Amino acid sequence: MSESPKKLYIKTYGCQMNVYDSEKMADILGPHRYELTDDPTSSDMVILNTCHIREKATEKVYSEIGRYQSLKKERTAEGRQFILAVAGCVGQAEGGEIIKRAPYVDIVLGPQAYHKLPEMIERATRAFHINQMDKKKGKEYRKDKIVYADFPVESKFDHIPAVSDNPRVSAFLTIQEGCDKFCTFCCVPYTRGAEYSRPVGDIVAEAKRYVALGAKEITLLGQNVNAYHGISQSGQGVWGLGPLCLELSNIEGLERLRYMTSHPKDMDDALIQAHGDSPKLMPFLHLPVQSGSDAILKLMNRKHTVAFYEEVIQKLRHVRPDIGFSSDFIVGFPGETEKDFEDTLSLVERVQYGQAYCFSYSRRPGTPAAGIETQVDEEIKKERLQRLQTLIHAQQESFNQSFLGKSIPVLFERQGKRADQYLGKSPHMQSVHILSNGDNIMGQVHEIKVIEAFDNSLKGELQ
Ligand code: SAH
Ligand code: SF4
Ligand code: F3S
């Protein structure tokens, strides 16, 4: 076998947790002599880290898998191994089905199994060599496929290298996985499994390592991040997200803290108060409500009412008056009437979001809502989606306009196309671009004055 490092290409779909997982998969494979590349055609292994949340997302994965069929054929003809792995939520949901549909896939693994990758690669490599030898002897090509879509007993977090040495100004840190909420439209409880919280000590240690590597901002991740309930550092008792945020706020050098995605029902008073007590907790919260109709929220099994949601928003605004919000909305959930939809529009009018993501309801096999008979017509869904998006768009624009002329602190994360252009984020998650005065401001927080506001970004100048 060649001693030179092998090339690994990872394509990530879906949510931030997949971004974090992709990084960890690269970390795990580093010691096995896999180096990341941006070019799939020259790679020795491709991992597609997939998302199952909507039908379109899943179909995208299948068309992407198809693109590697000819590469695989070419390589096999040359006697070289090329491994195609499907990881993530489609891997979990579809398991062996993927190999039935696309037999040239070698490995399928769910999001809880990525620490098993080296073992799976070893098996795939062994199978490849045996197949090659058999082929020379004129024997039929055997398929040896590896599928790992169980939920392993041990936690993947105990098996992954502690931290990537890849410096990041803004780092993701998964603190919680899985979901026990079972919203009737959602596949996540089935793809990510039951809720699990990492111990406080492990999170603090990982956060400190990111900061030592230069991170100024950490975003705590979880499918249901504010359901967090991890064992405390002393081993006595369990902490919620509020105390965890306060603890992490003590890390010197860390300037900004965020968390996502939260469920309204789990916004407890300690977490709300943390927004008042820690200036490091940024004043922008993604708090998905999905619908503004109590009847639909009930059918969705969201476990809260519209009034409860607005009360949470009000409490947050009380402790942190400058806080802004974003949300996810689903339009055309089975049974949604025009009146239900108008209730969603009214809620949006009352809250005034800084940003929001609107989705047309997509039937996910195996979820309770997929079986409801009163599915909404596609045309109606499309029309409602457009109306909601128009409203959200207008709010986003006026939210950004309200910053015009103001001075805001921006964390600069990237250099733009021009060498003197820098891109960063405001406390309210707005993308900000500026032209620097020649100094390198990467990784720093600077006060800037907003000189132009667009629907998706702000233009500023250094103060
Ligand atoms: N855990 C988060 C969100 C996870 S999925 C929460 O509880 O809010 C991200 C978003 O995808 C959801 O908020 C929802 O708006 C959307 N989504 C999930 N399932 C969907 C489906 N079947 N059809 C359309 N949108 C869906
Ligand atoms: Fe899905 Fe609901 Fe869990 Fe969010 S809270 S991941 S929408 S089941
Ligand atoms: Fe998609 Fe799985 Fe995230 S379904 S949204 S990648 S948890």
Query: Which amino acid, residue 453?
Result: A
Residue carrying the six token digits 């909404």: 376
Where exactly are the structural domains of the chain? 6-148, 162-281, 283-402, 407-462
Pick the atom of ligand 3 nearest to 57's CA.
Answer: 1
pLDDT at 152 over 60: yes
Which whole-number Å values give the CA distances from 226 to 271, 272, 279, 287, 312, in the listed order?
A: 8, 11, 19, 10, 13
> How many angstroms separate the alpha carbon of residue 75 from the centre of ligand 2?
41
223 lines ligand 3 (CB under 6 A): yes
Q: What integer pLDDT is reported at residue 166 of this predicted model? A: 64
pTM (whole model) above 0.95:
no
Give the pLDDT band (50/70/90) at residue 273.
very high
Mode of pairing for the β-strands spanning 45-50 and 34-36? unpaired
For the CA of 360, the nearest ligand: 1
Taking residues 186-202, what's their average pLDDT?
95
CATH pick for 407-462 out of 2.40.50.140, 3.40.50.720, 2.60.120.10, 3.30.70.120:
2.40.50.140
CATH pick for 162-281 out of 3.40.50.150, 3.40.50.970, 3.30.750.210, 1.10.645.10:
3.30.750.210
> How many angstroms separate the alpha carbon of residue 324 from the centre of ligand 1?
20
Strands lying side by side in the sheet with 256-260: 170-174, 217-221, 256-260
pLDDT at 235 over 70: yes
Q: What integer pLDDT is reported at residue 224 of this predicted model? A: 95
Burial profile 304-326: b = 16 or more Cβ within 10 angstroms, e = fewer? bebebbbebbebbeeebeebbbb
For ligand 1, atom 7, which residue shows the shortest CA distance? Answer: 263
113 close to 74: Cβ distance less than 8 angstroms: no
408 close to 425: Cβ distance less than 8 angstroms: no
Q: Which of 184, 224, 300, 302 to mutate to test the pocket of ligand 2 (most atoms within 8 A of CB)?
A: 224
Note whether 162-281 and 407-462 share their fold. no
pLDDT at 446 over 70: yes
6-148 CATH? 3.40.50.12160
Q: What integer pLDDT is reported at residue 341 of this predicted model? A: 98
> How many angstroms separate the alpha carbon of residue 178 from the centre of ligand 2?
9
Taking residues 359-384, what's their average pLDDT?
96
283-402 CATH? 3.30.750.200
Pick the atom of ligand 1 nearest to 364's CA.
Answer: 22
Q: What integer pLDDT is reported at residue 139 of this predicted model? A: 65
199 close to 237: Cβ distance less than 8 angstroms: no
> How many angstroms separate the alpha carbon of residue 54 from the centre of ligand 1?
8
3-state DSSP assignment of residue 161: coil
Q: What integer pLDDT is reported at residue 154 of this predicted model? A: 66
Q: Which of 53, 58, 59 to mutate to test the pocket of ligand 3 (most atoms within 8 A of CB)?
A: 53
Taking residues 311-333, what's their average pLDDT?
98
20 lines ligand 1 (CB under 6 A): no
